Amino acid sequence: MAYLDESLAPGEAIIARFELHWTAKWRLIVFLVLAIPTLGLALFAALYEWLRLRAIEQGVTNRRVVRKTGIVSRTTEELRLASIETIDLHQSTWGRLFGFGDVVLTGRGESSMIFARLAAPLDAKRAIEGAYAANVEAPRNGNG
């Protein structure tokens, strides 16, 4: 079972999951190409990279934004929606052309969270903004 699903609190629901863009997998591709003629260390490196990429989970719920990494060990970054101050989109020219970018969240104080090399970063930004508007702003205004 995925970490996002396991970590849901009562009443919490997943709004969106964020996928990595194919360009985030360039190391895996290089290791696979090197592994074809040698079947040596590059094959193990490709296997490790594949497992590492599969272990990354990113998403937004109706209460928080989550990023989990780690194959055996686990590292999570979580930012409550109510503590988000800014949501920035960073997209290079290549990112615009190929459809990838980074979404950077800034929370209260010095906290920040980066979703790097996301596929459809504008959709991810909209999902976070939508979750914030529906679950933080609406209750404050008495509309929820």
Q: What one-letter code names the amino acid at 44?
A: F
How confident is the model at residue 30, as a pLDDT? 80
DSSP symbol at 134: I
Neighbours of 72 (CB within 10 A): 6
How confident is the model at residue 129, as a pLDDT? 96
How confident is the model at residue 12, as a pLDDT? 96
- Judged against a pLDDT cut of 60, whether residue 144 lies above it is answered with no
Nearest residue to 118 via CA among 52, 30, 59: 59
- The model's confidence at residue 142, banded by pLDDT at 50, 70 and 90, is low
The sheet with strand 64-69 has its strands ordered as 14-17, 57-61, 64-69, 75-80
- Judged against a pLDDT cut of 80, whether residue 141 lies above it is answered with no
How confident is the model at residue 51, as a pLDDT? 92
- The model's confidence at residue 81, banded by pLDDT at 50, 70 and 90, is very high
How confident is the model at residue 31, as a pLDDT? 79
Over residues 115-126, the mean pLDDT reads: 96
Q: What six digits make up the tokens of 88?
A: 């920035």
Over residues 9-20, the mean pLDDT reads: 96
Q: What is the mean pLDDT of the chain?
A: 90
How confident is the model at residue 76, as a pLDDT? 94
Please tell me whether residue 19 adopts helix, strand or coil conformation.
Answer: coil
- Judged against a pLDDT cut of 90, whether residue 33 lies above it is answered with no
pLDDT in tens, 52-61: 999 999 999 9
Over residues 51-79, the mean pLDDT reads: 94
